[in-house]
Amino acid sequence: MRRTRAAAAAVTASLLAAATACGGGTANTGGGSDTAPKELTYWASNQGPDLAADQATLTPELKKFEERTGIKVKLEVVPWSDLLNRILAATASGQGPDVLNIGNTWSSSLQATGALLPWNAENFGAIGGKDRFVESAIGSSGATGQDPAAVPLYSMAYALYYNKKMFQEAGIAKPPATWDEMVTIGRQLSKDGKWALGAEGANLSNNIHQAFVLAKQHGADFFDAAGKPTFDSPGAVGAVKQYVDLMAKDKIIAPGNAEYAQNQSLQDFANGKTAMVLWQSAASSFKSHGMKEGDWGVAPVPVPAGGAPGPGGNTNSMVAGINLAVFKNTDNIDGSLKFVKFMTSDEEQKILNKTYGSIPPVKAAQSDPAFATDDLTVLRTTLGTSAAPLPQVPQESQFETAVGTAVKELFADAAAGRPVTTESVKAKLTKAQQQMAS
């Protein structure tokens, strides 16, 4: 008997440990208040090569803010892998930071939780007005027709980065401007263990960014006007197939890229294994992998034949970037607004975007000569003329997971030599759409 009892005790303990995983948060309905006016907690996202670099960049600026306002800012740099879960936990418990960075594609999803302070005219007034910001950046800070859930902090866009030396050796004069040229040049470059293009086949967000842009070029959207998913429309299927075909049919992406999810494609690019990558603001990463300024060139992402980057069917980037949000439960609403004003001031925008290699979403800060380099001019032009925001719907993050996984599985098929057909692409996307219905 005693044995059984001991066993039962051990089992109960293990079962309990297992079941606690499904526990939930508590209810909380606090609004903003001003009970702790001398202190702020700020969650920054990881923008530099590592967390320590962000600490080093932000700390002097936060000191400056403290000197001017007397408000001490407690900084925590949260890695991307944790950030969304941390925000969700903070939302559920009501215990969160005062000010935080969010990926701008999450804006609508987080807006739907009601955890973030809406940026109505009054709040915008406190930081100098909505007009100070670039329109496309404001366009990716919440659902249309609602007050934005955040304000733009850093803007980024996709560009085609190419290895100048590899292009020279292959006798290629200029980077591809259309997808047809991409395939032609790609076949020239893909030989002797080298490959033309890098991809992050197992990185769900990156898959989405590429599929979204290609879908625009095919005249399709992943959500209709009513916000209903339309993942398996002919245009979307064509877009996903075109992207995966770069590996499956055109064979200009190495099969091994199907399992990349930790930015290995940037490493391959820096090591001269691949000649091109489609990436957002990659300069600082290349440098940290040992490349020197001038080793790589930057060009706009290719568009369909016969076009030039522009709106609609010639969209060639998403509006990528980071937004700054205020947590509704903050106990220092006044200080939070002051802090947002500080971070979006012309001066800080120049300093921070320069360090991170991104584009300031504040119009006045863009005129600084530091943002007129070859790299940044391409990104700036793209943002201004041919970038579109990802769908601003509450289901955006589910969409990233469902469709991102579908593309990942298709890359796995392509890598293993299984055929990727219109039917197989459609089947995967239909499955992804059915998952959204739940």
| Stretch of residues binding another protein (CB under 8 A), selected from 222-230, 238-246, 279-287, 400-408 | 400-408
- Nearest residue (CB) to another protein, 113 versus 424: 113
Q: Does 284 bind another protein (CB under 8 A)?
A: no
Among 182, 202, 244, 291, binds another protein (CB under 8 A): 202
Are the beta carbons of 295 and 170 closer than 8 angstroms? no
Q: Does 144 bind another protein (CB under 8 A)?
A: no
How far, in Å, CA of 5 to CA of 9, rounded? Answer: 6
Element counts in the chain: helices (H) and strands (E): 18, 11
Q: Whole-number minimum distance, CB 171 to another protein, in Å?
A: 27
Q: Does 226 bind another protein (CB under 8 A)?
A: no
Amino acid making up residue 74? K
Among 59, 120, 422, 434, binds another protein (CB under 8 A): 434
- DSSP H helical segments within 297-395, as ranges? 333-343, 346-356, 363-366, 374-385
CA distances from 290 to 114, 163, 195, 268, 358 (A): 43, 13, 20, 12, 20
Q: In what order do the strands lie in the sheet with 99-103?
A: 72-78, 39-45, 99-103, 320-326, 151-156
User: How many whole angstroms from its chain centre is CA 293?
Assistant: 24
- The radius of gyration computed from the CA coordinates of the chain, to the nearest angstrom, equals 23
Site for another protein in 368-387 (CB under 8 A): none
Q: Does 311 bind another protein (CB under 8 A)?
A: no
Among 23, 31, 145, 369, binds another protein (CB under 8 A): 23
| Stretch of residues binding another protein (CB under 8 A), selected from 140-148, 210-218, 340-348, 399-407 | 399-407
Site for another protein in 78-117 (CB under 8 A): 85, 88, 91-92, 94, 109-110, 112-115
Q: In sequence order, what are the residues at sequence separation of 6 or more whose Cβ sits closer than 8 angstroms to the Cβ of residue 364?
A: 132, 346
- Nearest residue (CB) to another protein, 133 versus 411: 411
Rounded to 5 degrees, φ, ψ at 280 are -105, 130
Q: Does 29 bind another protein (CB under 8 A)?
A: yes
- The residue behind tokens 């205020």 is 326
Q: What share of the chain is helix, strand, coil (3-state, %, to 5)?
A: 50, 15, 35
Q: Whole-number minimum distance, CB 365 to another protein, in Å?
A: 33
User: Which candidate, 282, 261, 265, places its Cα nearest to that of 273?
Assistant: 265
- Nearest residue (CB) to another protein, 136 versus 265: 265
Q: Does 22 bind another protein (CB under 8 A)?
A: yes
Among 78, 197, 258, 351, binds another protein (CB under 8 A): 258
Q: Does 149 bind another protein (CB under 8 A)?
A: no
Q: Whole-number minimum distance, CB 432 to another protein, in Å?
A: 9
How far, in Å, CA of 209 to CA of 407, rounded? Answer: 11
Q: Does 394 bind another protein (CB under 8 A)?
A: yes
Q: Whole-number minimum distance, CB 269 to another protein, in Å?
A: 14
Residues lying near another protein in the complex (CB under 8 A): 3-4, 6-8, 10-11, 14-25, 27-29, 85, 88, 91-92, 94, 109-110, 112-115, 202, 204, 254-256, 258-259, 261, 394, 397-398, 401-402, 404-405, 408-409, 412, 415-416, 431, 434-435, 438
